[in-house]
Amino acid sequence: KAGVTQTPRYLIKTRGQQVTLSCSPISGHRSVSWYQQTPGQGLQFLFEYFSETQRNKGNFPGRFSGRQFSNSRSEMNVSTLELGDSALYLCASSSKEGTPLVFGAGTRLSVL
Amino acid sequence: GEDVEQSLFLSVREGDSSVINCTYTDSSSTYLYWYKQEPGAGLQLLTYIFSNMDMKQDQRLTVLLNKKDKHLSLRIADTQTGDSAIYFCAEFKPGNTPLVFGKGTRLSVIA
């Protein structure tokens, strides 16, 4: 069974640009969660999608958005990038509430 | 407290036992998890424990849960250099809320 796949693995952008990250969950998993990981703040929850609906949202500005498609694949978008958005963005999937999250390898975003 | 708390660093000698501690926030949390993150990688689930258990053992890993004090620990027996990583504890609270993570404990194993 393939794991959670995140693309691209690395991205370099400049301030003001926008970026889209992609996540393919484990087959059969309908829940996809996104986390931002930085050295100072640790893992911070961005949002969770289940069956194409946003089920939970973290405390991030509106520049951060996401969506989920009918095949459970998910994308997150960050507009008007800031230097502070440099981080490792992790996607995780699970089959249902309470079951362990399975993480992808992450997308490392650097904003210059 | 409002945050899942962990010590930031732990250093042990190869072959010794490592104990990583965590204090979680909600006594009604139903699942408690330990994840491992190696450099440049995502988080790998190591083990988890249900809140109605006090202990769980899985090969070199032992998880202890003290619900009264909301304290969770992970013991790694015979620690190896390959165990060097960041270890995160996380709690799942019922009611459709996201998994909440601690800031992670960086384990360094000295040969």
Q: Please answer yes or no on whether A56 and B33 come within 8 Å at the CB atom.
A: no
Q: Please answer yes or no on whether B103 and A42 come within 8 Å at the CB atom.
A: yes
Q: Is the pLDDT of residue A2 over 80?
A: no
How confident is the model at residue A1, as a pLDDT?
64
Print pLDDT tens along chain B (111 aa). Answer: 578 999 999 999 999 999 999 999 988 888 999 999 998 889 999 999 998 899 999 999 999 999 999 999 999 999 999 999 999 999 998 877 888 999 999 999 998
Q: Is the pLDDT of residue A88 over 80?
A: yes
Contacts of B2 (CB under 8 A, 6+ apart): B25
pLDDT band at A110 (very low <50, low <70, confident <90, very high): very high
Q: Please answer yes or no on whether B41 and A105 come within 8 Å at the CB atom.
A: yes
Most B CBs within 10 A among A43, A46, A48, A59, hence the mutation to make, goes to A43
Q: Please answer yes or no on whether B99 and A33 come within 8 Å at the CB atom.
A: yes
For residue B19, how far is the Cα from the chain centroid?
9
* Secondary structure of residue A83 in the 3-state scheme: helix
Q: Is the peptide bond before A39 cis (omega within 30 degrees of 0)?
A: no
How confident is the model at residue B9, as a pLDDT?
96
Q: Whose CA is closest to A82, among A108, A66, A67, A63?
A: A63
- The percentage of chain A sitting over the pLDDT mark of 90, rounded to a whole number, equals 89
Structure tokens at A37: 């990981």
Contact status of A39 with chain B (Cβ, < 8 Å): no
Average pLDDT over residues A67-77: 97
Q: Whose CA is closest to B33, among A66, A16, B66, B24?
A: B24
Give dist(CA A23, CA A92) in Å, integer.
8
Q: Please answer yes or no on whether A102 and B45 come within 8 Å at the CB atom.
A: yes
How confident is the model at residue B34, as a pLDDT?
97
- What would the pLDDT profile of A93-107 be if each residue is shown by its tens digit? 998 877 889 999 999
Give dist(CA A81, CA B93) in Å, integer.
32
- What would the pLDDT profile of A31-56 be if each residue is shown by its tens digit? 999 999 998 888 999 999 999 999 99
List phi, psi (to 5°) of B92: -110, 120
Contact status of A53 with chain B (Cβ, < 8 Å): no
Q: Is the pLDDT of residue A69 over 90?
A: yes
Contact status of A32 with chain B (Cβ, < 8 Å): no
Q: Which of residues 33-92 of B touch A (CB under 8 A)?
A: 33, 35, 40-45, 48, 88, 92
Q: Is the peptide bond before A8 cis (omega within 30 degrees of 0)?
A: yes
Paired sense of beta strands A102-103 and A87-94, if any: antiparallel
8 Å CB contact between A107 and A12: no
Average pLDDT over residues A5-19: 97
